[in-house]
Amino acid sequence: MNVLVTGGAGYIGSHTCVELLEKGYGVVVVDNLVNSSAKSLERVQQIAGKDLAFYEEDVRNRGAMDAIFEKHDIGCVIHFAGLKAVGQSVSMPLEYYDNNLNSTITLCQSMKEHGVRDIVFSSSATVYSGDNTMPLSEAGSRTGMCTNPYGWTKYMCEQILRDTAFSDKDWSIALLRYFNPIGAHPSGLIGEDPRGIPNNLMPFISQVAIGRRDHLSVFGNDYDTHDGTGVRDYIHVVDLARGHVAAIEYMLGHRGESVFNLGTGTGYSVLDMVKAFERVTGQKIPYEIVDRRPGDLATVYASPDKSAQLLGWKAQYNLEDMCRDTWAWQSKNPMGYDS
Ligand code: NAD
Ligand code: WQD
């Protein structure tokens, strides 16, 4: 079966393309490279030893999407394409709503036109409200009350897809809520390559380690956690990628809407991450405690039980693996794909 992967040149998309190719799926990527490099796809093909098809197009371009569906016999879509920087979404809300909502709507219209009804969507733990108790579960935790436009785009795209599946029982949609993806392919050939100053913790730590930044700012040490710093559910990106393959396999036998958390169920603090990275890589990470970052929660982690039961999927990599593979990528590619 051929899988259309939107945003396939990006961080999670590229790792998922590797897993798909290695499982024998044909892969067609559409990406406008707004936040990625086509080099990632060359490396994907190198790792897998197989070719994929790539179109440098915007998913909002209906004509381009129709042409791709006409050219390839697509069985299923994984929709990664989107803008994802929380802070940027606050200053550029219209760009975020335009890109993330219109890409989803255009994609679904084109899918409908071409008889493709299976879609896996990159959602986020950010759709859960901030007032839940942990762990977050698909059925038991509240969603909504998002704190930024990025989060709302994920919430709204979930609703658009849910309504689409409700309107036509032939659709199968899997809403995958990712927790905190980190790490890289163990080969060190592909990984996360943020443009500008990294927003997220792990890319920041690894850029300090390689000497691109002089220290890490730790956003608050007065949270109600074991060491006062924020706790999150970090998941190895290869485990996350395999969750998508499991979702595709699940969808073959199920119609309608399904929602799955992709997390490990274990939380680590910012300082746990710093210490683990130092221990595994031998690199010192100087840090300074600064004020809390607005909008941050003390603790966020998943219940991974539903994914284990229904997808037969469970994260395999541990924190040491995540740190080792992050460093393999960063040290082999100090300036990312521009190295
Ligand atoms: P990424 O920026 O590396 O990948 C997104 C890709 O989509 C990029 O290659 C970008 O060029 C492409 N893209 C964006 N808009 C496009 C458009 N209109 N047309 C075509 N291509 C377009 O981000 P990522 O970390 O790989 O995230 C993938 C998806 O997962 C995103 O939807 C993101 O919101 C979601 N997500 C990410 C995280 C995370 O922490 N990385 C967590 C939860 C959810
Ligand atoms: C993790 C912890 C920070 C950077 C975000 C998005 C979420 C999802 C994943 C897409 C927190 C602390 C961070 C730094 C720090 N993305 N930190 N210094 O905030 O859990 O989630 O990425 O869907 O929507 O909100 O991840 O990596 O930014 O932060 O101390 O320089 O590290 O305060 O406790 P977060 P993160």
Query: Does residue 218's CB lie within 6 angstroms of at least one atom of ligand 2?
Result: yes
Nearest CA to ligand 2 atom 13: 201
Instruction: Supply the pLDDT for residue 275.
Output: 98
Q: How far is the CA of 10 from the centre of ligand 1 (A)?
A: 6
Ligand number nearest CA of 192 is: 1
Element (DSSP H or E) covering residue 54 = strand 53-55
- d(CA 248, CA 116) in angstroms, rounded, equals 13
Residue 128's φ and ψ, nearest 5 degrees, are -75, 140
Ligand number nearest CA of 175 is: 1
- d(CA 62, CA 107) in angstroms, rounded, equals 8
- d(CA 97, CA 133) in angstroms, rounded, equals 29
Instruction: Supply the pLDDT for residue 73.
Output: 98
- d(CA 93, CA 234) in angstroms, rounded, equals 27
Instruction: Supply the pLDDT for residue 326.
Output: 98
Query: Does residue 106's CB lie within 6 angstroms of at least one atom of ligand 1?
Result: no
Instruction: Supply the pLDDT for residue 298.
Output: 97
Instruction: Supply the pLDDT for residue 192.
Output: 98
Q: Which residues pair with 3 in a beta bridge?
A: 27, 76
| Residue for token pair 């919430």 | 155
Helix (H) and strand (E) counts in the chain: 11, 13
Residues taking part in catalysis: 150
Q: Which atom of ligand 2 is nearest to the CA of 204?
A: 31
- d(CA 242, CA 32) in angstroms, rounded, equals 24
Collapsed DSSP state (helix, strand, coil) of residue 339: coil
- d(CA 229, CA 274) in angstroms, rounded, equals 11
Instruction: Supply the pLDDT for residue 339.
Output: 87
Q: DSSP secondary-structure letter at 17?
A: H
Residue 105's φ and ψ, nearest 5 degrees, are -65, -45
Query: Does residue 176's CB lie within 6 angstroms of at least one atom of ligand 2?
Result: no
Q: Omega before 135 cis (within 30°)?
A: yes
What whole-number percentage of the chain has pLDDT above 90?
99
Q: Which atom of ligand 1 is nearest to the CA of 81?
A: 7
Ligand number nearest CA of 81 is: 1
**Which is nearest to 146 in space by CA: 164, 158, 135, 130?**
130
Q: How far is the CA of 278 from the centre of ligand 1 (A)?
A: 29
What single string gives the DSSP state of each residue in 262-288? ES-S--EEHHHHHHHHHHHH-----EE
Q: Which residues pair with 209 in a beta bridge?
A: none
**Which is nearest to 286 in space by CA: 227, 219, 337, 217?**
217
Neighbours of 119 (CB within 10 A): 24
Instruction: Supply the pLDDT for residue 292.
Output: 97
Nearest CA to ligand 1 atom 27: 12
Q: Which residues pair with 219 in a beta bridge?
A: 290
Q: Which atom of ligand 2 is nearest to the CA of 199?
A: 28
| Residues of the chain predicted below pLDDT 50 | none
